[in-house]
Structure 1
């Protein structure tokens, strides 16, 4: 038995020899099971690492998983949090079902998608800025219009102030566009620059290398398993020959076959041990790295949330400033007095106060 981060694994190999062929003091003596066939009885702890291909387990792309409903129920590493480290252990088949994508690759794709969404948000804000700039330009241009420039009196003053307010409003929108660029668009563009994809590739290569090592270890287990089966079969044949005809040569062959079977069993144990160690290492790195990716995603969302809230703050400020540009217009409009305007106009443009009288004969 050996300990791993995922739990202890007990490995039991079968008796390699019949009762009549068991060597005294052999490491296999006293082990129950059919003496002349390859069997393995496996015990797994906390529902994770088991001998590859053994009872109660299934092999998926060189990773060993417990069979559904077998053994104790696994507990989530981070219950009630929907954490990355709990839900991306198996590989995911593509819609066509021809290839599979590793669970870790799904997490990396999420990071790349998040980066793309961040870029598209920055593009959206950029388009918003262009609209503000164009709007400010048009407002400023309209404020210089000579239309109704000859309006007089208190109404003329209000009209002049209204046109001036367009210029002031244009300044407000221009400042809004500048702040959008510096406080929203630029942060979205610069958050996690070019090195981010390089960092993701490092994660990808690291986990992929561990999977390759695991596949190699599994191949070694299968090779050792086959070698043990071959040695046991050879031992069984020689044992049967001994029953037919007793000879010194046959007994010597049996001893050699026993040694080779024992060695093959040791080799299988060693290969299983190395496999489980490699899988345990992959398990640990998957947990650690998936948690790092989870934190990166939380940081991304919070960063975007912060700067989109800044957008709404700037928008509210713009509304307030716009309101301040029309307040003088409101005041002058409230002061418009048709009687006073008539008085001023008459005084300036009157042609005479003497009215006509009747003609005398």
Structure 2
């Protein structure tokens, strides 16, 4: 569509929009860029800017007609901060869906709004490009969940689309799984400690070298006894690991999955309601467009041929158009209520998940610190079991051992002498 031309149907100030293109009704604009959200970029008199596509009508150069009829006296077009356009009679303060030309002026016009087509993705309304820079993070510099998970994305495990909140839930469930696997790891460590303690105790009871004597024999007996002491230390270590590390990891948030399902169902229900009301808005918008088109056709017939019946038909068509506008307003209000509710729940729920994740990480850190503390204690106790062995080994004296053995086992002190003739 770039390079095509359009003619403005209504005046657009662009004052409340960054890079807005200002024009009056009936001016020729060259289109340079279009977006699905209902906003086009155009150029007029060498100036580029953005404007709502509903303000213009495409036109072929070969069929261009004189300037469209301007708005009637005292009528002006305005754009609300939310991007809604409406027409106001500065005398009566009346508002209307369609521009009022000279033959259509009515001081009793109902207060109606024309909703510009927003940028909507999976039933969620996002700001148009002109307004994206106006948004500020809810919690700047914190990388908070509540700021970065508003859009949906494709599931990397398949072709399904998952919401940003589902991504957060998957993070929580993955964290829970990692927590369980850590508990399994500690359980295996406990099993190894128990097996090690059992083997140490068994080894300490084997009567090997039991007949060693003297100071060396005492050191050897203490060494064997230290194995039994060390086995007891490792049994205590494994017991504390089970009660102070493994068990807390297992029982922390036992109802975690059930709580996550509540979160999931609640947010899913809000999204379903939002999708339903978004569909209602689109249906109401289409109905309004049909009513406006019908009114335009009847107005054109009146211009060709004055007829009281046609005038009555125009009044009916105008009433139906007004009613369609009211219906659209009602649907949009309901949609906005649903989206506001979803927005609030997204913020509070994502912050709650953020808090739960911080709590989980801190809990695991504390219990892993407890693991290292117990490990240091085990080393200290093991050292205490080996210290008596070291002391006795330092006291081993081969000369003393020889003396003791000789005293106990000597066979005589008299030495042989030469035989006399």
TM-score range, shorter chain: 0.7 to 0.9
Q: 1:345 aligns with which of 394, 405, 410?
A: 405
Give the Cα–Cα distance (whole angstroms) in 2 for the partners of residues 69 and 207 of structure 1: 29
Residues 1:88 and 2:169 are matched in the alignment: no
Residues 1:98 and 2:162 are matched in the alignment: no
Q: 1:19 aligns with which of 95, 102, 107?
A: 102
Q: Aligned Cα RMSD in Å?
A: 1.9
Residues 1:63 and 2:146 are matched in the alignment: no
Q: Name the structure 2 match of 1:329.
A: 389
Give the Cα–Cα distance (whole angstroms) in 1 for the partners of residues 179 and 154 of structure 2: 28
Q: Name the structure 2 match of 1:152.
A: 213
Aligned length: 332
Residues 1:140 and 2:201 are matched in the alignment: yes
1:226-251 CA distances to partner (integer Å, 9 max, x unpaired)? 00000011111111111222222111
**Secondary structure at 2:84 match in 1:** strand
Matches within 5 A, 1:1-361: 9=82, 11-13=84-86, 14-15=97-98, 18-27=101-110, 40-41=115-116, 53-54=117-118, 58-68=119-129, 70-95=131-156, 98-193=159-254, 195-361=255-421
- Change in CA separation of 1:71 and 1:159 when aligned onto 2, cut-off 3 Å: closer
Give the Cα–Cα distance (whole angstroms) in 2 for the partners of residues 74 and 239 of structure 1: 43
**Secondary structure at 1:303 match in 2:** helix
1:312-349 CA distances to partner (integer Å, 9 max, x unpaired)? 11000000000000010011011111100000111111
Q: Could you say which structure has the higher helix fraction? A: 1
**Secondary structure at 1:76 match in 2:** coil
Please say if residues 149 and 165 of structure 2, whose CA atoms lie closer than 8 Å, have aligned partners that are also in contact: yes
| Alignment gaps of 5+ in structure 2 | 1-79, 87-96
Deviating more after overlay: 7-16 vs 173-182: 7-16
Give the Cα–Cα distance (whole angstroms) in 2 for the partners of residues 210 and 202 of structure 1: 12
Q: CA deviation at 1:67?
A: 3.2
Please say if residues 15 and 28 of structure 1, whose CA atoms lie closer than 8 Å, have aligned partners that are also in contact: no
**Secondary structure at 2:125 match in 1:** strand
Q: CA deviation at 1:178?
A: 0.4
Length-normalised TM-score, structure 2: 0.76
Q: CA deviation at 1:10?
A: 5.8
**Secondary structure at 2:134 match in 1:** coil
Please say if residues 21 and 239 of structure 1, whose CA atoms lie closer than 8 Å, have aligned partners that are also in contact: no
Q: CA deviation at 1:98?
A: 3.0
Please say if residues 83 and 115 of structure 2, whose CA atoms lie closer than 8 Å, have aligned partners that are also in contact: no
Q: CA deviation at 1:16?
A: 5.4
